Amino acid sequence: MNKIKFTIDGKECFAEPGQTIMEAAKANGVYIPALCRYEGLKPAGSCRVCTVRVGRGHMAACTQPVAEGMVVENIVPDLEDMRKSLIEMLFVEGNHLCPTCQKSGNCELQALAYRYQMLVPRFPYQFPVRQVEPVGPHLLLEQNRCIQCLRCVRGVKTTDGKAVFGSVKRSGKKKIAFDRDLAAGLSADAAKKAMDQCPVGALLKKEIGFMVPIGKRKFDQKPIGSEFEDKRS
C-alpha cells in the first residue's frame, strides 16, 4: 500500500492509510503534546491538548486521520498558548496542590505545566468542593485532581471485560463514578495498573504513595516529550 505524504511544521512525514495525525507523528519522531491519549486505548479526544491546525481548521491529532498532502501546524506560538491555557483551565477547575500529591513528578498534567512554563494560571481558581472516595479495597479516587480524561473509563475493566468506571452528569458537574461491586473485585495488580494509567493523582493505589521519592520520579529525570524532542535539538 502506498504511504501518505504530509507535513508537520514543514517536516516531511509519511503515514500509513488510516493512521491518525498523532500516530503518524509518533512514527515520524514528532512530539504532539497530549493528555487524555494513552497507548493501547481508543482515543477520546477529550482534553484537546493535541489540537493541531490544518489550513484554518483546528482538529484533535489523536482522532483525525491523516490525508494526503495535509499541511499540519503543531508547535506554533498561538496554538501552543491555547494548549497552555487548556492546562491552566484544568488546574483551576480542580484542586491541585502538587507539593502534597503522591503523583508529583509522575504526573502528566504537572509535566505539561512545566513544559509550558506555567507560573500562575491566567484563570481564577474555582476551588470546587470535591470528595475522596474509596474504590474497592486497593484504590482511592481523588476527585479533586480528576481531569476527566476518561482513561479509567476506557481502560479499567474486570477480568470478564466489564467497565468499572463511567462518567456521570454534565457540564461543570461531570465526574467519574464507578460500580461498587465491580470495584470490590479489582485485584491489587489491576489497581496498580489503573493508577499508572491515570495521568494525574486522581486514582491512587493504596499503600505505595511515596515508594519512589520525589526527585527520582519519571518527569524529575526528563521533561515530558523529551523522548522525541531531545533528538531534534
CB of 105 to another protein, least distance (A): 23
CB of 5 to ligand SF4, least distance (A): 35
CB of 123 to another protein, least distance (A): 5
Among 26, 37, 96, 138, binds ligand SF4 (CB under 6 A): 96
CB of 171 to another protein, least distance (A): 4
CB of 66 to another protein, least distance (A): 19
The CA-atom distances, in angstroms, between 230 and each of 7, 37, 137, 178, 225 are 20, 21, 41, 40, 8
Among 10, 120, 131, 173, binds another protein (CB under 8 A): 173
The CA-atom distances, in angstroms, between 11 and each of 50, 53, 72, 228 are 18, 15, 9, 14
Q: Does 86 bind another protein (CB under 8 A)?
A: yes
28 binds, among ligand SF4, another protein, none (CB under 5 to 8 A by kind): none
Q: Does 46 bind ligand SF4 (CB under 6 A)?
A: no
Cβ(217)–Cβ(201) below 8 Å: no
Q: Does 174 bind another protein (CB under 8 A)?
A: yes
Q: Are strands 57-60 and 165-168 parallel, antiparallel or unpaired?
A: unpaired
Which residue, 126 or 221, is less far from another protein as judged by CB? 126
Q: Does 103 bind ligand SF4 (CB under 6 A)?
A: yes
182 binds, among another protein, ligand SF4, none (CB under 5 to 8 A by kind): none
Which residue, 46 or 197, is less far from another protein as judged by CB? 46
Cβ(183)–Cβ(173) below 8 Å: no
Q: Does 72 bind ligand SF4 (CB under 6 A)?
A: no
Size of interface with another protein, in residues (CB under 8 A)? 29
The pattern of x and - marking residues 179 through 208 that bind ligand SF4 according to CB under 6 A reads -------------------xxxxxx-----
The pattern of x and - marking residues 40 through 69 that bind another protein according to CB under 8 A reads ----xxxxxx-x------x-x---------
Cα 88 from Cα 66, distance rounded (Å)? 29
Q: Contact residues for ligand SF4 (CB under 6 A)?
A: 96-98, 101, 103-104, 107, 109-110, 145-152, 176, 198-203
